[in-house]
A and B are shown apart, each in its own frame.
Chain A
Amino acid sequence: MSLTMFWFRQNNLLQKIMRIISIIAALVLSMSILGCGNEKSEGNSAQPVQKVEQEKVVSDPKTDKGVGPITSITLGEIDPALVEQGKALFTSKCSACHKIDKRFVGPPLKGITEKRTPEWIMNMILVPDKMVAENEEAKKLLAEYLAPMANQSLTEEEARALLEYFRTEK
């Protein structure tokens, strides 16, 4: 715009007319440039932005089951065979990023079953991508730890075994 203004420093009638034309032209130009985009322009558009009243999600880690394939798990007595299986899986598939007692790439897992529901834990193992995208608690963890949890392609049975192991690490 400043360049356009520069052209019209001299003050005579013709130039005044030209100036008006040029302002109109510049306006049309800017509109046509804006009009070229297919994407909805956000923020600076003249239309009023419709405010969607977002419901504040209050999550309680003690009841939050997360999102994913696991909706309900009933826990019985601790199964020692399953614990052993879970422990072995933990060593091979998880321990590169999680320690039991120490904050590492991911959070320490001691007492995890007291902080989270069994369903939440298993969903986090099975569908970490979905969890960090859709679950408030998982989002908070990502914001804190920054490294997104890796999907290790475990089966539901394997995730269940891990859960059993975590129950013994209180």
Chain B
Amino acid sequence: MKSIIKTFALLFTIFSLTIACAPSEKGGNQGAISGNAAEKVYVAPGELDEFYAFVSGGFSGQLAVYGLPSGRLFKVIPVFSVDAEKAWGFNEETKPMLNTSHGFIPWDDSHHPDISQTAGELDGRWVFINGNNTPRIAKIDLTTFETTEIIEIPNSAGNHSSSFVTENTEYVVAGTRFSVPYPQRDMPISEYKGNFKGALTFISVDPKTGGMDIAFQIMMPGFNYDLSHPGRGASHGWFFFTTYNTEEAHSLLEVNASQNDKDFIAAINWKKIEEYVKNGGGTKAPANYAHNVYDEHTHTATSTMKKEVLIVNPADVPGAVYFMPTPKSPHGCDVDPSGEYIVGSGKLAAELTVHSFSKMIKAIEEKKFDGDAYGIPILAYDAILAGSVKQAGLGPLHTEFDGLGNAYTTFFISSEVVKWKLGTWEIVDRKPTYYSVGHLMIPGGNSRKPFGKYVLAMNKITKDRYLPTGPEVTQSAQLYDISGEKMELLLDFPTVGEPHYAAGIAADIVAKNSKKIYKLEENKHPYAVKSESEAKVVRNGNEAHIYMTTIRSHFAPDNIEGIEVGDKVYFHVTNLEQDYDVPHGISIIGANTSELLIMPGQTETFIWEPKQVGVWPFYCTDFCSALHQEMQGYVRVSAKGAGVPLKFTLDGDPLKMP
């Protein structure tokens, strides 16, 4: 009997195996996902994504690069936080990038990436991103996908309404979330009102090199400046910043900053201020802030402390700054592709407020004011209102646009994305997010020409959406197809850090400019060696400088003697490779720092201070070739004063001309 059961069991197994062999339906009905969603995000092996998504890492301090629609992660670009994998902030060349007026800072909170624009359209040259905690703006070069410049923002704190660009990248802005005493000084916190100021900083961007420089700081009343967006088209020349805490509370803000029924969107006519400054306006004030620049040819960063900044008092430039009353605690302030509508997301308000730029101009001309705040005119609410989206959801946060007359707004509290129509303000569709969505991104959604195919929603909480990983679980992004009347959820994918905000661009604009190698002949690193014959070890007191080269699959020199305990040993390593995708890595036992990861044609340096006598190996840490395991060497460390002569060889020979 037993065997009968077993036989049938066997037959059943065969049957199920046969079933398993049949091609399964793609997609299937999985919760919110329907139809051919899987097909829409499937990028076959070897094929390339249609869009780049640059997603900030929030408290990771970095910027992650994903492909859309697949959601595949390509690179995490280190920006404000050290990254041992890429030696960012660990090697001698990049340490200056993290210098500030507070010294070396290994971490920050990265928030709002924005891609450079020309004539209001994304040009794909640079990504700017703000460090929130110790105020800084960074620039990432999209030929190398590396952070090449970081500028500290003085007189600022909680650098949050940043780092958005004007339509020709004339400026990138950095607005302070926390107002602070200006000038910074020892004073009672209770004397906040009137003494604390909110700096809105305009950083000019050199159109050729991308070089950043603080052009001016507008010293605004002591509110909290939360987010901002540039005017475009007709409103080009203006910048809009949301404010909250117009009560100027300094404690228990969740109650005390929720007293007024409206806060403001500050409308800044930066062209007017630019002209004022050009004519000698503003006051040069002492300051102390770091400007860090990475040079692609020396492969090295330098940090310069700047000592002065130009301050503009808005009261001195009549007609340059206005306040637009907006229902309570607006977060996002988003400008549609035409530049006419400014959407204010009052996160404690029942409806979404949309201001009209043309009405604003008219109200200014007709002086339709409702008093002033610190001398800045407050525009009459009814005179500037274009309309409002009624009962849109709870906790509106951020709106982007598809370029076809539709707007998409996230709602944090009700966890949804809502599609609505500009002009008629009617709601077209709503889709849930999983869960607590913050910002959203349509590639090009903050420009004159959005690529209105997908929207990416970025969630703060995922709870049950993924396999649990202890108390800390992943955060996520969700991709929706927005090419139809109704949105369609296509994909959930986990992200690096908090996916706070993102900018996206069509891949073909960027990919063609991506650099493959650094040319060896353009390497101007002071410790570079361009051929093995130049490799050497030079002693200078207790410092030993190793000028080393790498190529598949050996180091030169790879046997070094004459190093002593107490020496400071510099490994200056040049990768002689000139082929795409052949980096080499290096580290040595006991190094109190990270590995180096050296791109073809690049030179990087780490310091090793041997503490023990012995013969210590170093090796290539990046799998480079079939003979990667053979890529190694030894350093002989003798006791201090042992007098072992300095010797460096490869294959037993001193390094010399071939």
> Is this pair of chains taken from one and the same complex?
yes
Give residues in A with beta carbon < 8 Å to B.
Answer: 4, 7-8, 14-15, 18, 21-22, 25-26, 28-29, 32-33, 35-36, 90-93, 95-100, 104-105, 146-148, 150-154
Q: Is the CB of A147 within 8 A of B520?
A: no
Complex: how many Å from CA A163 to CA B341?
66
Known interface pairs A7-B3, A25-B11, A90-B658; A147-B17 also in contact (CB < 8 Å): no
Tell me which residues across on chain A come within 8 A of B11, comparing CB atoms. 25
7 further interface pairs, Cβ-Cβ under 8 Å (given A22-B10, A99-B658): A26-B10, A91-B531, A93-B531, A95-B531, A96-B532, A97-B551, A151-B578
Q: Is the CB of A29 within 8 A of B626?
A: no
Q: Is the CB of B13 within 8 A of A29?
A: yes
Tell me which residues across on chain A come within 8 A of B219, comparing CB atoms. none
For A147, give the chain B residue with the smallest CB separation: B627
Q: Does B18 contact A (CB under 8 A)?
A: yes
Min Cβ gap A133→B in Å is: 15
For A94, give the chain B residue with the smallest CB separation: B658
Complex: how many Å from CA A99 to CA B582?
22
Q: Is the CB of A92 within 8 A of B658?
A: no
For A95, give the chain B residue with the smallest CB separation: B658
Tell me which residues across on chain A come within 8 A of B576, comparing CB atoms. 92-93, 96
Q: Is the CB of A32 within 8 A of B551?
A: no
Q: Is the CB of A91 within 8 A of B658?
A: yes
Instruction: Scan B506-533; emit 1 where CB is below 8 A from any A CB, else 0.
Output: 0000000000010011000000001111
Tell me which residues across on chain B come within 8 A of A97, comparing CB atoms. 551-552
What 6 pairs across the A-B complex have the smallest Cβ distances?
Answer: A96-B551, A153-B578, A152-B578, A95-B658, A151-B579, A92-B531
Q: Does B553 contact A (CB under 8 A)?
A: yes
Q: Is the CB of B17 within 8 A of A98?
A: no
Tell me which residues across on chain A come within 8 A of B3, comparing CB atoms. 7-8, 15, 18
Q: Is the CB of B21 within 8 A of A35?
A: yes
The residues in B between 1 and 26 inclusive whose CB is less than 8 angstroms from any CB of A are 3-4, 6-7, 10-11, 13-14, 17-18, 20-21
Q: Does B577 contact A (CB under 8 A)?
A: yes
Q: Is the CB of B658 within 8 A of A93?
A: no
Tell me which residues across on chain A come within 8 A of B579, comparing CB atoms. 150-153
Known interface pairs A90-B658, A96-B549, A147-B552; A32-B577 also in contact (CB < 8 Å): no
Q: Does B313 contact A (CB under 8 A)?
A: no
Tell me which residues across on chain A come within 8 A of B20, comparing CB atoms. 36
For B657, give the chain A residue with the smallest CB separation: A91
- Partner among B533, B551, B556 whose Cβ is within 8 Å of the Cβ of A150: B551
- Partner among A15, A25, A146 whose Cβ is within 8 Å of the Cβ of B627: A146
Tell me which residues across on chain A come within 8 A of B531, comparing CB atoms. 91-93, 95-96
For B20, give the chain A residue with the smallest CB separation: A36
Known interface pairs A147-B553, A153-B578; A32-B626 also in contact (CB < 8 Å): no
Q: Does B275 contact A (CB under 8 A)?
A: no
Min Cβ gap A110→B in Å is: 11
Min Cβ gap A69→B in Å is: 16
Min Cβ gap A11→B in Å is: 12
Tell me which residues across on chain B come within 8 A of A90, comparing CB atoms. 658
- Partner among A22, A91, A92 whose Cβ is within 8 Å of the Cβ of B7: A22
Tell me which residues across on chain A come within 8 A of B191, comparing CB atoms. none
Tell me which residues across on chain B come within 8 A of A14, comparing CB atoms. 4
Complex: how many Å from CA A29 to CA B521?
63
Tell me which residues across on chain B come within 8 A of A100, comparing CB atoms. 658
Tell me which residues across on chain A come within 8 A of B577, comparing CB atoms. 150, 152
Tell me which residues across on chain B come within 8 A of A29, comparing CB atoms. 10, 13-14, 17
Min Cβ gap A142→B in Å is: 10
Q: Is the CB of A32 within 8 A of B18?
A: yes
Q: Is the CB of A36 within 8 A of B17?
A: yes
Tell me which residues across on chain B come within 8 A of A152, comparing CB atoms. 577-579
Q: Is the CB of B658 within 8 A of A32?
A: no
- Partner among A18, A28, A147, A154 whose Cβ is within 8 Å of the Cβ of B625: A147
Min Cβ gap A17→B in Å is: 10
Q: Is the CB of A96 within 8 A of B14?
A: no
Complex: how many Å from CA A120 to CA B21?
50
Q: Is the CB of A28 within 8 A of B556?
A: no
Q: Does B355 contact A (CB under 8 A)?
A: no
Known interface pairs A33-B17, A92-B520, A104-B651; A7-B6 also in contact (CB < 8 Å): yes
Tell me which residues across on chain B come within 8 A of A95, comparing CB atoms. 531-533, 657-658
Instruction: Scan B559-592; emit 1 where CB is below 8 A from any A CB, else 0.
Output: 0000000000000000011111010000000000
Q: Can you list 10 A-B contacts (CB < 8 A)?
A: A18-B3, A25-B14, A95-B657, A95-B658, A146-B627, A148-B626, A150-B582, A151-B578, A152-B578, A152-B579
Complex: how many Å from CA A99 to CA B651?
12
Complex: how many Å from CA A152 to CA B533?
17
Q: Is the CB of B7 within 8 A of A93?
A: no
For B516, give the chain A residue with the smallest CB separation: A153
Complex: how many Å from CA A35 to CA B18?
9
For A97, give the chain B residue with the smallest CB separation: B551
Tell me which residues across on chain B come within 8 A of A35, comparing CB atoms. 21
